[in-house]
Amino acid sequence: MSIVVHGYPTRRSSAKKIYIALAVACLALLVPAFSREQPEGSIACGWQATTIPNGIPHLNAIAGTSSSNVWAVGPGTPTLHFDGFSWSSVFTKNSSETQVLNGVSALNTIDAWAVGSSSPPMHDLKPLVFHWDGSTWVEVADHISGGAQGKSLDGVADISTSDVWAVGSICAVGVCQPLAEMFDGTQFVIHNGPEQGKYASYYSVSGDAPTDVWAVGSVSSSSPQGFVNRPIADRWDGTHWIASRLPADLGILLSVKVNSSTDVWAAGQDDINGRSRALIEHWNGSSWSIVRNPVQSSYSFLTSISGTGPNDMWVSGIRTPTPSLYHPITEHWNGSRWNEVDPNQPTIASSIAILDLGHQIVFLVGTVYGGGAFVDQYTCN
């Protein structure tokens, strides 16, 4: 999963673009001090750049099942696939429409999904869904009703071949509602969440069972100070979505990872006295709690979270050490605390997403300002 920065080609819906644009504007005015830790362990570990095909301007999301089956997606028709040796371009359809893929998920080598949106000439956004069948990307029709002004899908999770979730937002008459669709093996069926409000959206979805799926995002509402954003985290119990109470009152959740019914992680940004701060929350099966991370005092936001269990989680994000630079954040959870790991990339302009496959197999994708897309791999020597 990754982030939208207004003014760059991005992967999120219009609601999120507005929020992040304001957040980045505030971040760029401040120069925070922050601490940094080196990679953990007695052996040398760190991020290393990998070679990807030329002409890839941005990468928004990454997913995979093993070190020989990894997908990365972004704007345009090419997707990237890693077979354990090299990255190659795998194209979707050729179209005159502007296409952006925002999320990707993989179940195995012959079953993967990518979602996003496209913009036909002189029309509003429409949702875009592709399915990988082992040889080609096939566009799949969803079942969103007509009449909306804008529809976008931002996240996808495939629990099984007959249980695939895609989330985003649908807008009409100036109001955006969270959108959740489930593919049952034959067709997509809408199961909208409980949240109502202006500029509301789901940005990420994850699950480990048909009765344990989480979607996170934000919803805006009016206040004496103007519009404020509050994070949302809703759980699908197999029948309907249930809203949960979150400890952070203001902010946004951009990514979620479900390891089990008692081990769910979410990442994003909270707002305290008008200042943004990287936010990590954990669900233990009964309640959410905020987990402290090393960039608490920084002007920052976390855009992606991935991991394999309670002792191995990674997050990625962005902060602004100077008004003109956006630096990447990568952190690792070892079961007791989050440790910041020095990234390879010096500056970031737009999206950044992380994938943890376990056994110290971790990939990071994003966009370098003025330099196009990158893919880094975490290795230990």
Question: pLDDT band for position 321 (50/70/90)?
Answer: low
In this predicted structure, what is the pLDDT of residue 121? 56
Candidates 296, 221, 274; CA nearest to 35 is 296
Which single residue is written with the structure tokens 């093993």? 66
Segment 171-191 shows an average pLDDT of: 88
> Where is pLDDT greater, at 137 or 124?
137
Domain ranges of the chain: 14-380
The Cβ of residue 60 has, within 10 Å, a number of other Cβ atoms equal to: 33
Q: Which helix (H) or strand (E) holds 22?
A: helix 14-27
Q: From edge to edge, which strands make up the β-sheet containing 78-82?
A: 61-66, 69-73, 78-82, 87-91
Q: State the DSSP H helix or E strand holding residue 301, giving kind and residue range, or none if neither.
A: strand 300-309
**First-to-final CA distance of the chain:** 28
Token digits for 38? 């080196």
CA dist list (Å): 81 to 9, 56, 173, 334 = 21, 13, 39, 29
Digit-coded pLDDT (tens) for 229-270: 899 999 999 999 999 999 998 999 999 999 999 999 999 999
Written as one letter, the residue type at 178 is P
Among residues of the chain, what percentage have pLDDT more than 90?
56
Lowest mean pLDDT among 59-73, 233-247, 268-282: 268-282
Q: Dihedral, CA atoms, 82, 44, 310, 219, nearest 10 degrees? A: -60
Question: pLDDT-based confidence at 25, cuts 50/70/90?
Answer: very low
> Which strand ranges, in their side-by-side order, compose the sheet holding 198-209?
198-209, 212-223, 226-236, 241-243
Does the domain at 14-380 match CATH 3.40.50.11290? Answer given as no
Rounded Cα distance, 281 and 288, in Å:
6
Higher pLDDT, 277 or 146: 277
